[in-house]
Amino acid sequence: MMTRTIVLLCILMAAALAQPQGKTVADNQITVIKCGKLIDGKSDTPIENAVILVEGNKIKLVGHNVSIPKGATVIDLSSATVLPGLIDAHTHVLLQGDITTDDYDAQLLKESIPYRTLRATVACKIALMNGFTTLRDLETEGAMYADVDLKKAINNGVIDGPRMFVATRAINATGRYGLSNSAYAWELRMPKGVQEITGADEARRAVREQVSYGADWIKVYADQSYYRLPDGSFRSIQNFTTEEMNAIGEQTRMLRRKLSAHAVTRDGIIYAVNAGARSVEHGQAMDDECIQLVAQKGVFWCPTIYVNVWVAEGRAKEGNPIWPQLLENMPKVFGKALKAGVKITFGTDAGGFDWKENQAKEFSYMVKWGMTPMQAIKSATTVAADLLEMSGKIGEISPSAFADIVATQEDPLKDIRALERIGFVMKNGILYKNEMTAGR
Ligand SMILES: [Zn+2]
């Protein structure tokens, strides 16, 4: 009996030792970062030769007259541009790019959820190494609540990854999402990329369930099946009844969560915004009325440009010429929204394109279509933090914010593509990447 107890204890101890320790930072650990240029996320101009003092996982001081405490680790980035950790407000870490329907279906049919989750751990690491210290991950595409596990594993230091805000399964109306019923024999019950609902009660149940499993955001697919009228305007099919959408909005609000709406044309945008959506995703075909509504209600627009660039040609070849047409329409919409004062937040739909593509490619399109480099940087820092109701905590380099800090050797205000070459990443006071001071 005794021997058995000892064996059991040994097994338990071995299991405990096998638990990863995780990367942590001591509360009293002090790191001083000397910056060449500091873009703090709030100011319109960079600050020259500032010093950041990090204590534990928070920024304690930022300025010119910061004395370096004894025993502090000093990181010299005086030839670099330092910025707040970037925020991508629209990703799918559980997806690996899907130009065609077959690409998408193969992931749901041929890869188990554990396998997809393993792949997602790589996506999380890539995002972090690219300088994205926070993601709003907008649904798992059939991988159920695996995003909640990924968030937990990151927070517990089991894997390296960004801060995660997760939406779990997303909601669409019955029959309105992949895997398409018409693509497979009708007697088969195919897996679905979303939670399907019919009626206001099922809508409420879906929100309640998702929140109970850990959803920070509720994501809905407000419209689909985009088409163009002879006058050149774009329309789509409204997926939910207004009653269903209002029920989702109300339940989301009651449970103190936030609503994100995939909505491309006025058929999706107007009723979703009126139901309380905090952000409109994609919106490639927003018309003037939508732009005014979104601006007036202070709703965030997450344009996800790069995914459109990535899928347009392939989808046209597959028989969907609407995709290049939507892409062609985007610069005009972007310019109008910018002029109207819409809160444009950085979001790429990474995962909708291959994770081998750096999601920071989004920036160059924002600048090409009318933003200043500083506006584009703010969209991925202070504006995105505002979307997440995390102002003052992330997206800025200021006292009491979390120490989420990145740097690049070149000046992104001169060439925004410098953000595709982030060489230094600190998240929550922990250093994950430093290719910039090695050997100096
Ligand atoms: Zn998406």
Strands (E), 363-412: 405-408
CA of 431 to the centre of ligand 1 (A): 29
CA–centroid distance, 416 to ligand 1, in Å, is 24
- Taking the centre of ligand 1 as the mean of its atom positions, its distance from the CA of residue 302, in whole angstroms, is 10
- pLDDT tens across 339-355, in order? 999 999 999 999 999 99
Instruction: Classify domain 86-387 at the CATH topology level.
Output: TIM Barrel (3.20.20)
Q: pLDDT tens digits for 149-188?
A: 999 999 999 999 999 999 999 999 999 999 998 999 999 9
- pTM for the model stands at 0.94
pLDDT recorded at residue 65: 87
Closest of 130, 137, 126 to residue 163, by C-alpha = 137
CA of 19 to the centre of ligand 1 (A): 34
Cα(40) to centroid(ligand 1), Å: 28
Separation of CA 286 and ligand 1 centre (Å): 17
DSSP H or E segment with residue 332: helix 322-340
261-309 pLDDT, tens digit each: 999 999 999 999 999 999 999 999 999 999 999 999 999 999 999 999 9
Q: How far is the CA of 425 from the centre of ligand 1 (A)?
A: 25
- Of the pLDDT bands very low, low, confident and very high (cuts 50, 70, 90), residue 133 is very high
> Ligand 1 centroid to 418 CA: how many Å?
25
Residue 203 Cα to ligand 1 midpoint, Å, equals: 20
Residue with tokens 């130009």: 99
Q: Delimit the domains of the chain by residue range.
A: 30-85+396-434, 86-387
Q: Is the pLDDT of residue 382 over 50?
A: yes
Q: Encode 274-327 in three state secondary structure.
A: HCCCCEEEECCCCCHHHHHHHHHHCCEEECCHHHHHHHHHHHHHCCCCHHHHHH
- DSSP characters for 96-159? ---SSHHHHHHHHHHS-HHHHHHHHHHHHHHHHHTTEEEEEE---TT-TTHHHHHHHHHHTTSS
Q: Which CATH superfamily is domain 30-85+396-434 in?
A: Urease, subunit C, domain 1 (2.30.40.10)
For 63-80, write each residue's pLDDT tens digit: 998 899 999 999 999 999
The pLDDT score that the predictor gives to residue 78 is 97
Cα–Cα distance measured from residue 60 to residue 398, given in angstroms and rounded to the nearest whole number: 8
Q: How far is the CA of 281 from the centre of ligand 1 (A)?
A: 8
Only one residue has tokens 């969560």, namely 257
Q: Cα torsion for 70, 76, 81, 86, to the nearest 10°?
A: -60
Provide the mean pLDDT of the chain.
94
Cα 127 to ligand 1 centroid, rounded to whole Å: 16
